[in-house]
A and B are shown apart, each in its own frame.
Chain A
C-alpha cells in the first residue's frame, strides 16, 4: 500500500454531534431512573410495572442505542489514537462494533422480557 498520510473522511462532524446528542439522552434517562428509584421503584414487581409502560420501553431502547453508539465513537477514537497498523485497527474496530451490537440486542431482550 502507498505510505501516504490520508485524511478527509467526512464523518468528523457527524460523530462529534452524535456523541453529544447520545450523551444528552443518557443523562436524561439517568435522571429519569433516579427519580423513579427515589419515587419508590425498588423491587421486581415495581420495576416490571414501570417497564410495562410503552413510553418507558421506548426511552429504555433509546438509552441502550445511545449508550452503544456513544461507546462506539469513544472506543474507536482510542483505537485511532493508539493503534497505528491498519490491519489490527480494522480488526479492533470490527470486534468493537460487533460486541456493541450484540450487547445492545441482549440488553433490549432483557428489558423487554420484564
Chain B
C-alpha cells in the first residue's frame, strides 16, 4: 500500500496549561485508504492524543468538524486530502471569531443563541390535521437550498459582520434558517418574523460581502436568502 507523509501546522491552545496559543508542526503517515482530512486527523490523534477536535458523523451531516483549513472554513470530513499541494504544511486553526475552548474546539454558544433567536420552528396555531400539513410541490420547492443547513458555523464565522457584532447580528446561518420559515407556506408568523429582523443590526449588518457563500461546505447561499428577506421587507413597507 502506498503511503505518504503529510505535514501539519496546527493551532494548539489548552487554557489550563498554555499562557497563549501556539502552532504545532507535526507530520503523519497516511495511506491510500485515507481520503479525507478527517482521516488524517484521526491518525494524528493516535500519534498525539492531546490534540482536541470535534467530529461525529464523518460524512458531512452533523456539522461538528468545522475548522479553518489553510485559511478557509470547511468540514474536515468533506475536504479531500488530494486538494493539498505536496510539500506545504496544512494549516489548521479553529473557526475564527469564536472563543476557543481548546485547540480546534470553539464555543458555539453565541452562534446557537442567534439561531434560537429566529424561532427556528414552524408556528401554526390551527389544530393540526390528522396526518400532516400538506404543501403543493411548488411551495415545497421554495425550501430547497434552505433546509439542508447543518449548522456547522462555517459561514457565520467567516462573516466580518458577525465578527464585529456576534451578539446583535444574526449571521448568515441564522438568517438562512429565518428565511426557511418565512418561505414556508405552513408557517403563520411571517409578519412577526419580519418584525424580528427589521432593525439596523439583526439583518441589516449584512453588507453582501458573500464570504458565507464561499465558506458553506454544503453549497448553500445565505446571501440569496438574506436578499429575499430584504425584498420582502420592502414589499411589506410599500
The interface of chain A, by Cβ under 8 A from chain B, is: 5, 7-13, 15-17, 80-82
Cβ–Cβ contact B201 & A7, under 8 A: yes
Nearest-Cβ distance from residue B168 to partner chain A, whole angstroms: 5
CB contact under 8 A between A81 and B164, given known A15-B204, A16-B230: yes
CB contact under 8 A between A8 and B234, given known A13-B204, A15-B204, A16-B204: no
Cβ–Cβ contact A11 & B200, under 8 A: yes
The answer to whether B124 has its CB under 8 Å from any CB of chain A is: no
Q: Which residues on B sit within 8 Å (CB–CB) of A12? A: 197-204
Nearest-Cβ distance from residue A104 to partner chain B, whole angstroms: 22
The CA of A11 and the CA of B199, in the complex, are separated in Å by 6
Q: Which residues on A sit within 8 Å (CB–CB) of B197? A: 12
Set A7, A11, A16: member contacting B202, Cβ < 8 A? A7
How many residues of B are in contact with the other chain, CB < 8 A?
19
Nearest-Cβ distance from residue B174 to partner chain A, whole angstroms: 13
The CA of A9 and the CA of B199, in the complex, are separated in Å by 5
The CA of A10 and the CA of B200, in the complex, are separated in Å by 7
Set A5, A9, A17: member contacting B200, Cβ < 8 A? A9
The CA of A8 and the CA of B230, in the complex, are separated in Å by 16
Given A7-B199, A11-B199, 18 other A-B residues pairs in contact with their CB atoms under 8 A: A5-B167, A5-B168, A7-B202, A9-B199, A10-B195, A12-B198, A12-B200, A12-B201, A13-B204, A13-B230, A13-B233, A13-B234, A15-B200, A17-B234, A80-B165, A80-B201, A81-B164, A81-B165
The CA of A12 and the CA of B165, in the complex, are separated in Å by 15
The answer to whether B237 has its CB under 8 Å from any CB of chain A is: yes
Nearest-Cβ distance from residue A61 to partner chain B, whole angstroms: 25
Nearest-Cβ distance from residue B196 to partner chain A, whole angstroms: 8
The 7 closest A-B pairs by CB, nearest first: A12-B204, A12-B200, A81-B164, A12-B199, A13-B233, A5-B167, A8-B199
The CA of A5 and the CA of B117, in the complex, are separated in Å by 13
The CA of A7 and the CA of B170, in the complex, are separated in Å by 11
Looking across the interface, which residue of chain B has its beta carbon closest to that of A17?
B234
